[in-house]
Amino acid sequence: MKKHILVSMATTLILLILISIPLLVYLNGHKPSEEAISISDHIYLVFQDEYYTDESLFKMEGDIIYLSFDFVKEYIDPDIFYDEKERMLIITDQDKVLRFIVGDNRATVNHREFIVDLPIKEIEGQVYIPEDILSRQYGLDINYWENTNAITIDRLSENYIIGQVIMEGGHIRTSFDIKSPIIFKDVDVETNLFIFEEYMDWYKVRTFDGIIGYMEKKYIKIDLVTNMHSTENNPFIDEKSNEKINLTWDYTHRKMENFEGANIIYGVNVLSPTWFEIIDEKGNINDKGNKDYVIEYQNLGYKIWPLISNGFNPDLTSKLLSSSLAREKIIKNIVLLYDEYGVDGINIDFENVYLKDRDLLTQFVRELYPVFKEKGMTVTMDVTPISVSENWSMCYDRKRLSESVDYIVLMAYDQHWATSPVAGSVAQYTWVEASLKKVLEEVPREKLILGMPFYTRLWTIEETTEGEKVTSLALSMEDAKKFIEENSISLEWDEESGQYYGEVVKEDKTYKIWLEDDESLRLKASLVNKYGLAGIATWRKGFEMEDIWPALSQTINLN
């Protein structure tokens, strides 16, 4: 019976001996195990079309079914999270973050408390989750069938093919071989079965009450591919506007006490002021924001997605991420702050993170996203190009992060960074495209924003007694142009970098520059069209020349 309700199919004779796991899939003439299990004596688990007899994977207390955390994580939700130290289990999706404490009837959804009928349990050192939580959160149909001693688990969103037995003499066997042992003899005519796979003249089938095996096709009629329940959409995909994002970061050095007024920026539709930085492990945030800035720019039609950083402090970040309670607190603080300013989104800029904290960084973002989405705010996350640097690149699980935010921003610059041992471009075209293609293997194109620089580096190379010394200075476009003019530097177009290059020797020092201008940036921005990206982001407002804005906007087809 299903929850102790008998079904007619269950009255059919079922052999009391089942071959033990792996129970049914013995291919290419392999013989089934001689070890046997009695259905009436052993509860077993069936998930879709597979058997599980390890009793540590599930528990039953009266009529209540519990599944182990390990089973749920491996087969149902790889992102479910358990903090062993704080005994906190966390489930996230695009709409909510649920937090449960083992043994406690109180839980929270998006930081609001509610009461659960059955708490999470710890049994013999393992964490078990009751069926009602699993059914509601994951859309699972979980049932115990007394006649077969089976616990069946099916996804309500799964597409199942349903077949019906149309003639007598149909047996369910352990393999697709007429000589293989019978599991279920003489299945009743008009019995419905789930159909999973096809093997020559056989189907792999499952009865509703958890018997899995193979039946000859001649006994089964398949009418339609039937949805048992309506298929759910991917929970992390929203409808996006066709308009390309044109974001620029607005760098703020100190508290913006007075705001002098908003100015129209041609083509830009999102501003990300760098207002917030986490400054200690208690979750305190340095706030440099200004409400008038938000109000005036929003009145002009701009979206405001302020940036929040971790101060690029790996030790502080590790302490914040490693505690579920600390993550919860900092997310609450961030939400309250962003709510106070009435902004439209958030740009998360966590850099210089220990590789060991990679999964915790993803978990932090997964816990933050539902709360911001509930308030109608867009969540974006900055990542670097893929490299072998642990703290600056390998710390990002770009694929899982992209599933947990609205947009990923690829900071495709600092190819040659401030203290680089060799001089070179900040973002040559070929490097940017190669970096982009690698990231696109992990991030959907419609979620990826290409970050580009408005600065260049002036490189100084001099010979010393200790060898060649290389230093650099970051210049805005205006300052770079001024240096080139003052030193009468002749520029030549470099195909590989997609930039104008120039150098000059003064007082035994060689100065080199790879210039960012409207031509180089237009070329990089064209990658948005080539690869169908979500848009561009530029670092940073104030470093550009005015002719850049229409060049970029027209390139990505905003106007």
Overall domain count for the chain: 2
- Would the pLDDT of 32 be above 70? no
Instruction: For residue 284, give every residue at least 6 positions away whose Cβ sits within 8 Å of its Cβ, in sequence order, or none.
Output: 278, 333
Residues 241-300 have pLDDT tens digits of: 578 999 999 999 999 999 989 999 999 999 999 999 999 988 999 999 999 999 999 999
* Identity of the residue numbered 68: S
Residue 224 is predicted with a pLDDT of: 56
Of 473, 347, 472, 367, the C-alpha closest to 408 is 347
Cα–Cα distance between 422 and 405 in angstroms, integer? 36
**Tokens at 206, concatenated:** 């499952």
Residue 158 is predicted with a pLDDT of: 82
Report the DSSP pairing between strands 492-494 and 499-506: antiparallel
167 located within any domain: yes
**Is the same domain home to 423 and 538?**
yes
Range of the domain at 522: 245-453+517-555
**Is the same domain home to 120 and 182?**
yes
Residue 159 is predicted with a pLDDT of: 81
Range with the lowest mean pLDDT among 34-38, 233-237, 310-314, 449-453?
A: 34-38
100 located within any domain: yes
**Is the same domain home to 74 and 125?**
yes
Cα–Cα distance between 559 and 269 in angstroms, integer? 12
**Tokens at 275, concatenated:** 């207002």
Residue after which a domain boundary falls, among 196, 227, 258: 227
CATH code at position 550? 3.20.20.80
Residues 311-327 have pLDDT tens digits of: 999 999 999 999 999 99
What is the average per-residue pLDDT within 81-104? 97
Report the DSSP pairing between strands 126-130 and 285-287: unpaired
Residues 189-211 have pLDDT tens digits of: 999 999 999 999 999 999 999 99
**Is the same domain home to 262 and 205?**
no
151 located within any domain: yes
**Is the same domain home to 221 and 309?**
no
Cα–Cα distance between 356 and 140 in angstroms, integer? 33
Instruction: State phi, psi for 486 to the nearest 5 degrees.
Output: -65, -25
Give the global pTM.
Answer: 0.88
Residue after which a domain boundary falls, among 227, 256, 290: 227
**Is the same domain home to 265 and 219?**
no
Give the model's confidence band at 234: pLDDT under 50 very low, under 70 low, under 90 confident, else very high: very low
Residue 17 is predicted with a pLDDT of: 29
Query: Partners of 494 in the beta sheet?
Result: 499
- Would the pLDDT of 229 be above 50? no
Residues 428-478 have pLDDT tens digits of: 999 999 999 999 999 999 999 999 999 999 999 999 999 999 999 999 999
533 located within any domain: yes
Which DSSP string corresponds to 170-204? --EESSSSTTSPEEE-SPPTT-EEEEEEEETTEEE
237 located within any domain: no
**Is the same domain home to 116 and 70?**
yes
C-alpha gyration radius of the chain = 30
Q: Confirm if 229 and 187 have CB atoms less than 8 A apart.
A: no
211 located within any domain: yes
- Would the pLDDT of 6 be above 70? no
**Tokens at 14, concatenated:** 């079922």
What is the average per-residue pLDDT within 149-159? 91
Q: Confirm if 259 and 298 have CB atoms less than 8 A apart.
A: no
Give the model's confidence band at 187: pLDDT under 50 very low, under 70 low, under 90 confident, else very high: very high
Identify how many contiguous H helices and E strands the chain contains and give both numbers: 11, 38
**Is the same domain home to 147 and 271?**
no
Residues 489-535 have pLDDT tens digits of: 999 999 999 999 999 999 999 999 999 999 999 999 999 999 999 99
155 located within any domain: yes
**Is the same domain home to 52 and 139?**
yes
Residue after which a domain boundary falls, among 227, 256, 274: 227
**Is the same domain home to 263 and 192?**
no
**Is the same domain home to 123 and 61?**
yes
Residue 446 is predicted with a pLDDT of: 97
Neighbours of 377 (CB within 10 A): 20
500 located within any domain: no
**Is the same domain home to 330 and 413?**
yes
Give the model's confidence band at 10: pLDDT under 50 very low, under 70 low, under 90 confident, else very high: very low
Q: Confirm if 58 and 68 have CB atoms less than 8 A apart.
A: yes
Residue 257 parent element (H or E):
none
Residue 146 is predicted with a pLDDT of: 93
* Identity of the residue numbered 256: M
